[in-house]
Amino acid sequence: MDVKTSFAAQNYAQARAATKPSQNATGPTGAGDAFAKLATDFAQTLSAGEETAKAAMIGGADPHALVEALAASELAVETAVTVRDKVVEAYQEILRMPV
């Protein structure tokens, strides 16, 4: 029985390392950090689309690049609106809960 116990302890030690949460070099990432990165990426996408549109107006960008930038901006805005709608819907559902 002692042999089986040591094998079980070994397997547990290996499984424990596999299920341990990962951390980056700066430490654990919270929901606030993820939301900040999401907001930054959203702003960068809109800014890139705006710069491409300005360049296309003065002849500095080809129409294909303009269409790609506008499609990326449209997708980012639609995603943000969908997330906002889901958050509002969840909030309203919480308000409807009996106390």
As a three-state string, the secondary structure of the chain is: CHHHHHHHHHHHHHHHHHHCCCCECCECCCHHHHHHHHHHHHHHHHHHHHHHHHHHHCCCCCHHHHHHHHHHHHHHHHHHHHHHHHHHHHHHHHHHCCC
The predicted-structure confidence for 35-79, as pLDDT tens digits, reads as follows 889 889 999 999 999 999 999 999 888 888 889 999 999 999 999
pLDDT at 1 exceeding the cut of 50? no
Please compute the mean of the pLDDT values over residues 11-33 and round it to a whole number. Answer: 63
Residue 11 lies in a domain: no
Domain membership flag for residue 23: no
Q: Is residue 39 part of a domain?
A: yes
In a domain? residue 16? no
List the domain range (segments joined by +) for residue 63: 29-96
Q: Is residue 19 part of a domain?
A: no
Number of domains in the chain: 1
Residue 1 lies in a domain: no
